Amino acid sequence: MAMTENNAHIEALEREMDWFSQLLNLLFHRYFEEESTEEEPPLPEHDPEGSYYGELLAQFDWGLPERMALMLAIAPNLRPNVLDVFFTKNALYERPFTEFGGIQSKQHGGFLPTGETLSFMLSGNFLENRWEVLELFAPTHPFTQYHILELGAVSSGEPRLSGLLELSLDYLTLLTTGERAMPEYDSLFPAVRIHTELEWEDLVLDEYVREEIDHIRMWLERGSFLLNDLGLKKHLKPGYRSLFHGPPGTGKTLTACLLGKSTERPVYRIDLSMVVSKYIGETEKNLKRVFDQAEHQDWILFFDEADALFGKRTSTRSSNDRYANQEVAYLLQRVEDFPGVVILASNLSSNMDEAFLRRFQSQVYFPIPSEESRYEIWKGIFSGAMRPAADLDLHQLAQDHALAGGTAINVFR
């Protein structure tokens, strides 16, 4: 049977999992001093162009530690029974071996590996090697830099290696299908992908507004060339930040959608109601999930009603004020460091923090459209099968009613 492209990704993981299973059994034989004539299985070779797993190994030149970590993390999803050997009990104490680490989930029923599990496989009980395991999760390691694999959070006072090995959903999907996962809106990912059926040519803006928008579009199309090919990366920070402000219905959200559509980039709108939390510190966690997911995927992030998050900092009169200001400072830093395009939308720019606004590359005011633009909007609305009545003069309609595009659509509806 001819192998499909998806099967090629799975086949690569199957071969790697076979190697991992053999290695795991050999390690257990050796740990319990059981006689074995088996030799350590060689690392499988993978064609960088044959599967995403092979591409990943070649890109970062990963060896045994990283490959073992990835297989441990992916095993509960692809071949959970491989890890059942970790349920072996210590007969002396009638409990699981502490050095195996891991957690047994009530829902999954199988063994969920932790950093301790990886440490056992890589280093046994050698203290020096245990610290080398932590280096796999250092900020400079690709696991962390690209949000591929991380140690889950642990309670205060718990050992760092007791955190679960957590393979991101994005990379689980990439490794098994070769395609990126588009995350769904939920409590852990408070953002939703937004679309439009309109095209760039349908966007009606006053001339000076369109000029500002064209600058953003040019950055989306040529920014990487400027930074990397022309060597400006040393002088310019990556990313582009813009504030869209103006009355409701004037095209801020539509423009963000069309910037993404015309440059083939996903646009995600952050749901402020799920991001802003009354609990101290939770707002940062909610936003961190979005930024971490978006950082290396070339998304456009769109914060609607942004003054709720990025508004003026308050004078510090209480501990709550202090934490609120800390959250603003955190947001300033994440937006400034984001390598993609961030668009913030607000009805009033005066509500925004001035120190924050200085970090923007552009501030675009969306006014109520001019009479000429209003006519173009009405003409576009009636461009389909439905035509205006004979006695309806679109020029007169545009002259008499200073409506924003969103309001005009509601009138038409």
**Residue 184 within a domain:** no
Residue 157: CB atoms within 10 Å: 5
CA 11 to chain centre: 27
pLDDT tens-digit profile, the chain (413 residues): 344 556 899 999 999 999 999 999 999 988 887 766 678 899 999 999 999 999 999 999 999 999 999 999 999 999 999 999 999 999 899 898 999 999 988 788 899 999 999 999 998 766 667 778 899 999 999 999 988 999 998 888 899 999 999 999 889 999 999 988 777 777 667 889 999 998 998 888 899 999 999 999 999 998 888 877 777 777 777 889 999 999 999 999 999 999 999 999 999 998 766 666 655 566 777 788 888 888 888 899 998 887 766 665 555 555 555 555 676 777 778 888 899 999 999 887 777 777 777 888 999 999 988 888 888 877 877 776 777 777 777 778 778 778 777 877 777 77
- Domain presence at residue 111: yes
Residue 182 lies in a domain: no
What sign for the dihedral angle of Cα 48, 290, 254, 359?
negative
Q: Are residues 124 and 221 in the same domain?
A: no
Q: Which domain holds residue 274?
A: 191-365
The H-assigned helical ranges of 179-318 are 207-224, 252-262, 272-275, 282-294, 307-310
pTM beyond cutoff 0.85: no
Q: Determine the angle formed by the axes of helices 64-78 and 169-177, rounding to 10 degrees.
A: 90
| Residue 74 within any structural domain of the chain | yes
Q: What is the pLDDT of residue 2?
A: 41
Give the HSE-up count for residue 146: Cα atoms under 13 Å, Cβ half-sphere: 13
Counting DSSP H helices and E strands in the chain, the numbers are 17, 12
Please tell me whether residues 148 and 210 are part of one structural domain. Answer: no
Same-domain status, 360 and 332? yes
Domain boundary among 125, 146, 177: 177
Check whether residue 149 and residue 76 sit in a common domain. Answer: yes
In which residue are the tokens 């002088």 written? 235
Angle between helices 127-135 and 115-123 (to 10 degrees): 130
Any domain includes 42: yes
Shared-domain flag, residues 78 and 212: no
Q: Which of helix, strand or coil describes residue 171?
A: helix
Amino acid making up residue 257: C
Q: Clarify whether residues 233 and 338 are in a common domain.
A: yes
Instruction: Kindly state whether residue 31 falls inside one of the protein's structural domains.
Output: yes
- Considering the domain architecture, whether residues 207 and 334 belong to the same structural domain is answered as yes
Same domain, 275 and 295: yes
Residue 185: inside a domain, yes or no?
A: no
What is the three-class DSSP state of 205? coil
Predicted confidence at residue 374, as pLDDT, reads: 81
Domain count, the chain: 3
Q: Residue 269 forms beta bridges with which residues?
A: 192, 302
Q: Do 377 and 349 lie in a common domain? A: no
Cβ pair 293, 305 in contact under 8 A: no
Report yes or no: 44 and 15 within 8 Å, Cβ to Cβ.
Answer: yes
Residue ending a domain, among 177, 202, 228, is 177
Residue 222 CB neighbours (<10 A): 12
233 and 93 in a single domain? The answer is no
The answer to whether position 16 is within a domain reads: yes
Based on the domain organization, do 358 and 375 belong to the same domain? no
Which stretches of 229-280 are assigned E, i.e. beta strand? 240-245, 267-270
**What local confidence, expressed as pLDDT, does residue 356 receive?**
74
Query: 119 with 153, same domain?
Result: yes
